[in-house]
Amino acid sequence: MNSKLSLALSLVFCAFQASAQEKHEGYTQQINGTKLSFEMKAIPGGEFLMGSKKGKADEQPVHKVKLDPFYMGTYEVTWDIYEPFLYKDYETTQSIGAVPANVDAVTRPTKPYLDMTFGMGKENHPALAMTHYNAIQFCKWLYARTGVFYRLPTEAEWEYASRAGNTTEYAFGDDEAKLGEYAWYKSNSESKTHQVGQKKPNQWGLHDMYGNVAEWTYDQYKADFYASVKGDKANNPVAVPDKLYSNVIRGGSYDDQAKELRSAARLASDPVWKQLDPQIPKSNWWFPEAPFIGMRLVRPVTPPSKTEIDAYYNRAPIADY
Partner 1 sequence: MNKEELRDKRREFIKASALVAGGVMLNQFAFAGGHSSTDDTIKIALIGCGDRGTGAAFQALSTKANLKLVAMADAFEDRLTSSYQKLAERFKDKVDVPQDRRFVGFDGYAKAIALADVVLLVTPPGFRPMHFEEAVKQGKHVFMEKPVAVDAPGIRKVLAAAELAKQKKLNVVVGLQRRYQANYRETLKRIQDGAIGDIVGGQVYWNSGGVWVKKRQPNQTEMEYQMRNWYYFNWLCGDHIVEQHVHNIDIANWVKNAYPVSVQGTGSRAWRTGKDYGEIYDNHAVELTYADGSVIYSQCRHFEGTANRVDETFQGTKGRTYLSAGHNGILWDHKGKEIFSHPTKGNANPYQTEHDELFEAISKGQFKFQDAERAAKSCFTAIIGRYATYSGQIIKWDDALKADNSLMPDRLAWDANPKLMPDANGLYPIPTPGKTKVV
Interface with partner 1 includes 90 (CB under 8 A)?
yes
Residues in 288-307 that interact with partner 1 by CB under 8 A: 288-289, 291
Least distance CB 248 / partner 1 (angstroms): 20
| Helix/strand number for the chain, H first, E second | 7, 10
Least distance CB 88 / partner 1 (angstroms): 8
Cα gap 150→44, rounded to integer Å? 17
Per-residue burial over 230-253, b if 16 or more Cβ lie within 10 Å, else e, is eeeebebbbbebeebbbbbbbbbb
> 46 or 271, CB closer to partner 1?
271
Which one-letter DSSP state was computed for residue 283?
A: P
Cα gap 321→192, rounded to integer Å? 30
Least distance CB 211 / partner 1 (angstroms): 17
Least distance CB 250 / partner 1 (angstroms): 20
Identify the bridge partners of residue 268 per DSSP, sorted by sequence position: 248
Q: How far is CA 171 from CA 56, 62, 160, 203, 293, in A?
A: 18, 17, 10, 8, 21
Among 9, 11, 98, 114, binds partner 1 (CB under 8 A): 114
Residues in 271-290 that interact with partner 1 by CB under 8 A: 275-282, 288-289
- Maximum Cα interatomic distance, the chain, rounded to a whole number of Å: 59
Interface with partner 1 includes 231 (CB under 8 A)?
no
> 110 or 302, CB closer to partner 1?
110
Least distance CB 230 / partner 1 (angstroms): 38
Among 1, 4, 89, 101, binds partner 1 (CB under 8 A): 89
Among 4, 18, 177, 321, binds partner 1 (CB under 8 A): 321
Cα gap 14→303, rounded to integer Å? 9
SS3 at position 307? helix
Interface with partner 1 includes 87 (CB under 8 A)?
yes
Interface with partner 1 includes 313 (CB under 8 A)?
no
Interface with partner 1 includes 118 (CB under 8 A)?
yes
Cα gap 66→68, rounded to integer Å? 7
Interface with partner 1 includes 86 (CB under 8 A)?
yes
Interface segment toward partner 1; rule CB under 8 A; list 3-11, 118-126, 146-154, 167-175: 118-126
Interface with partner 1 includes 122 (CB under 8 A)?
yes
Least distance CB 254 / partner 1 (angstroms): 12
3-state SS record for 197-223: CCCCCCCCCCCCCCECCEEEEEEECCC
Site residues for partner 1 per CB under 8 A: 83, 86-87, 89-90, 93-94, 110-119, 122, 275-282, 288-289, 291, 321
